[in-house]
């Protein structure tokens, strides 16, 4: 046990995961890795002067989920630690977002952890990924095709998130649990070969270890650390080149000198262009090597102007010797689906909005200012806890306040005189029951606050980007500051 504790302590120190005297939210599923991590951190908390809080999310995806939540709560109680156990309907979110079950679960889980950390004032969030998880990730990305950044694997530290077990083998964690007689839960879906990662874990890695390299996990993890360090160094160098090619521009736009770009090696040009995309859009999701190549091809045009349109409303234009990269404030956007923690908040970069929610008592609410503009009061019980913010979909229906029946959302927006250019960007608060609020326009009849309401869900939408026009409340075709009428 001492060896394992020393290994985790060294990992925490090597990657500067903790400063000491912090509050650490520990994500615990009840499986062997996260259970071992919790017990290890309990033994190390005095070394780092930590306050530990346990967090568990019931994904409602398996029959065992409720028992696992009970197990984690009981374990936290026995350790004398506060515990936050919540549940989300991940499969419902998956259907709304049209994602794979794994991706949907990951997004909902991370949203839950971020909102819980913000609500409780946690400084860091500990995840239970082990060295075996890292090896699987690197191998999976290698098979699918990835650059240096992807082959660097999961970072030990990314923002709030830390991975204290990233250098620890799973077998050592199991040995620790058995030696200390510590119970844990096994997810039976981890043994199913339905998922690619499971097949890698159960079939491919054992075969490679048996026939080629018995220390393959350690080798892949070491390789990932080396590549991640190389990527960080290259990124610092790229930043210098990017700044050298950059010209003054308006906010939200990047201008690059084409003659400067063309002097550099292709690999450096690609990285500078990727940096420009990241600066404008905030991320690289949805951008492929094909898009980068198309941008660089513009740099070979010998005369005049030429432009192209890319994902995330990105427009790239060559104007003589300058490459302009900007985001287009178009009405049409890629459909957006984002879980909204209750209470909590989320940022939707694609819409340039932040959304916040809180639950308040009925009596307290009416001593507060009446909601105006982009704030809605809803019956918390009617809305429930599984809530998403998304843009409209074909076939959407909505029951406006005061209407006995639902109608097509498109017809409602036309009647409310919402401009066509705004409709595809309009955030909708959606539950399994339907659309609860067309933000800034109207709430649903079924979600309204009544005299029987005990708790009120307060939701507020705030503008984050200058390109996003303020959402104007419309009632009977006229602009209004009073979106909700209690009946």
pLDDT in tens, 106-154: 999 999 999 999 999 999 999 999 999 999 999 999 998 888 989 999 9
295 cis-preceded (ω within 30 degrees of 0): no
Q: Which of 422, 446, 427 is nearest to 438 (CA)?
A: 427
| Dihedral over alpha carbons 284, 287, 293, 298 (to 10 degrees) | -80
pLDDT of residue 329: 64
Residue 391, burial from CB neighbour count under 10 angstroms (0-12, 13-18, 19+): buried
Which domain covers residue 353, as residue numbers? 337-479
Last residue of a domain, one of 224, 256, 279: 224
Question: How many whole angstroms separate alpha carbon 107 and alpha carbon 388?
Answer: 12
The answer to whether the predicted template modeling score (pTM) of the entire model surpasses 0.95 is no
Please check whether residue 266 is in contact with residue 273, taking contact to mean a CB–CB distance below 8 angstroms: no
One-character DSSP codes across 209-278: HHHT-TTHHHHHHHHHHHHHHHHHHHHHHHHHHHHHHEE---TTEEEEEHHHHHTS-HHHHHHHHHHHHH
Confidence grade of residue 470 (pLDDT, cut at 50, 70, 90): very low
Confidence grade of residue 191 (pLDDT, cut at 50, 70, 90): confident
On the question of pLDDT at 8 being above 90, the answer is: yes
Map residue 410 onto helix, strand or coil: helix
Residue 437 lies in a domain: yes
Same domain, 286 and 316: yes
* Alpha helix stretches (DSSP H) within 282-335: 289-298
Residue 229 lies in a domain: no
Q: What's the rounded mean pLDDT across residues 339-357?
A: 88
Same domain, 474 and 384: yes
Map residue 421 onto helix, strand or coil: helix
Confidence grade of residue 320 (pLDDT, cut at 50, 70, 90): confident
Confidence grade of residue 300 (pLDDT, cut at 50, 70, 90): confident
Same domain, 70 and 182: yes
In the chain, the percentage of residues whose pLDDT exceeds 70 is: 91
On the question of pLDDT at 382 being above 70, the answer is: yes
Q: What's the rounded mean pLDDT across residues 364-376?
A: 61
pLDDT of residue 96: 81
Residue 240 lies in a domain: no
pLDDT of residue 146: 86
Question: How many whole angstroms separate alpha carbon 353 and alpha carbon 373?
Answer: 14
pLDDT of residue 372: 58
Residue 300, burial from CB neighbour count under 10 angstroms (0-12, 13-18, 19+): exposed
Distance (Å) of CA 289 to CA 192, 270, 295: 33, 9, 10
Domain count, the chain: 3
Question: How many whole angstroms separate alpha carbon 399 and alpha carbon 75?
Answer: 45
Residue with tokens 């009544």: 450
Last residue of a domain, one of 298, 327, 356: 327
Same domain, 347 and 206: no
Residue 233 lies in a domain: no
Q: What's the rounded mean pLDDT across residues 84-98?
A: 88
Reported as a single tens digit per residue, the pLDDT across 405-463 is 999 999 999 988 887 768 888 999 999 899 999 998 999 999 999 888 999 999 999 87
Same domain, 342 and 407: yes
Confidence grade of residue 364 (pLDDT, cut at 50, 70, 90): low
> 238 in the Ramachandran plot: left (φ > 0), alpha (ψ -120 to 50) or beta?
alpha
pLDDT of residue 248: 93
User: Over the Cα atoms of the chain, what is R_g?
Assistant: 25
Same domain, 321 and 349: no
Reported as a single tens digit per residue, the pLDDT across 219-268 is 999 999 999 999 999 999 999 999 999 999 888 899 999 999 999 999 99
Question: How many whole angstroms separate alpha carbon 283 and alpha carbon 59?
Answer: 27
pLDDT of residue 478: 31
On the question of pLDDT at 176 being above 50, the answer is: yes
CATH number at residue 148: 3.40.50.620
Please check whether residue 69 is in contact with residue 58, taking contact to mean a CB–CB distance below 8 angstroms: yes
Same domain, 215 and 256: no
Last residue of a domain, one of 224, 256, 275: 224
Query: CB neighbours of 150 closer than 8 A, spacing ≥ 6?
Result: 141
Phi, psi (degrees; rounded to nearest 5) at 80: 70, 30
| Number of residues that make up the chain | 487
Per-residue tokens: 283: 């991320």
Residue 187 lies in a domain: yes
Map residue 190 onto helix, strand or coil: helix
Q: pLDDT averaged over the chain?
A: 87
For residue 388, give the H/E element and its range: strand 388-390
């Amino acid at each position: 046990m001492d060896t394992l504790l020393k290994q985790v302590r060294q990992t925490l120190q090597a990657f500067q995961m903790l400063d000491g005297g912090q509050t650490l939210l520990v994500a615990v599923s009840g499986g062997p890795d996260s259970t071992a991590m919790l017990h290890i951190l309990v033994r190390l908390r005095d070394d780092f002067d930590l306050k530990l809080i346990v967090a568990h999310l019931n994904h409602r995806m398996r029959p065992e989920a409720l028992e696992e939540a009970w197990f984690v709560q009981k374990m936290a109680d026995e350790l004398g630690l506060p515990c936050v156990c919540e549940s989300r309907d991940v499969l419902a979110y998956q259907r709304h977002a049209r994602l794979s079950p794994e991706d949907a679960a990951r997004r909902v889980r991370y949203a839950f952890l971020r909102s819980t950390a913000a609500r409780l004032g946690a400084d860091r969030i500990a995840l239970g990924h082990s060295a075996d998880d890292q090896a699987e990730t690197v191998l999976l990305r290698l098979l699918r095709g990835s650059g240096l950044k992807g082959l660097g694997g999961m970072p030990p530290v990314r923002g709030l998130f830390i991975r204290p077990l990233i250098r620890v083998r799973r077998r050592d964690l199991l040995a620790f649990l058995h030696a200390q007689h510590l119970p844990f839960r096994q997810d039976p879906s981890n043994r199913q070969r339905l998922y690619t990662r499971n097949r890698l874990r159960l079939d491919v890695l054992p075969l490679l270890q048996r026939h080629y390299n018995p220390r393959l996990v350690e080798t892949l993890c070491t390789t990932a650390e080396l590549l991640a360090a190389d990527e960080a160094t290259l990124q610092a160098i790229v930043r210098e080149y990017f700044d050298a090619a950059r010209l003054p521009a308006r906010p939200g736009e990047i201008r690059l000198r084409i003659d400067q770009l063309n002097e550099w090696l292709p690999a450096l040009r690609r990285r500078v262009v990727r940096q420009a995309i990241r600066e404008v859009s905030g991320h690289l999701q949805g951008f492929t090597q094909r898009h980068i190549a198309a941008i660089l091809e513009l740099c070979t045009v010998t005369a005049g102007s030429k432009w192209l349109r890319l994902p995330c409303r990105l427009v790239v234009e060559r104007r003589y010797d300058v490459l302009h990269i900007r985001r287009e404030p178009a009405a049409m956007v890629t459909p957006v689906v984002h879980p909204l923690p209750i209470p909590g908040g989320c940022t939707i970069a694609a819409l340039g909005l932040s959304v916040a929610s809180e639950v308040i008592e009925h009596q307290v609410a009416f001593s507060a200012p009446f909601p105006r503009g982009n704030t809605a009061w809803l019956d918390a019980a009617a809305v429930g806890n599984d809530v998403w913010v998304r843009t409209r979909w074909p076939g959407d229906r909505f029951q406006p306040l005061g209407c006995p029946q639902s109608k097509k959302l498109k017809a409602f927006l036309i009647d409310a005189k919402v401009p066509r250019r705004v409709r595809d960007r309009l955030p909708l608060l959606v539950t399994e029951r339907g659309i609860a609020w067309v933000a800034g326009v109207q709430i649903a009849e079924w979600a309204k606050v009544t005299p029987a309401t005990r708790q009120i869900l307060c939701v507020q939408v705030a503008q984050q980007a200058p390109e996003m026009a303020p959402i104007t409340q419309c009632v009977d075709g006229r602009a209004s500051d009073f979106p909700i009428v209690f009946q």
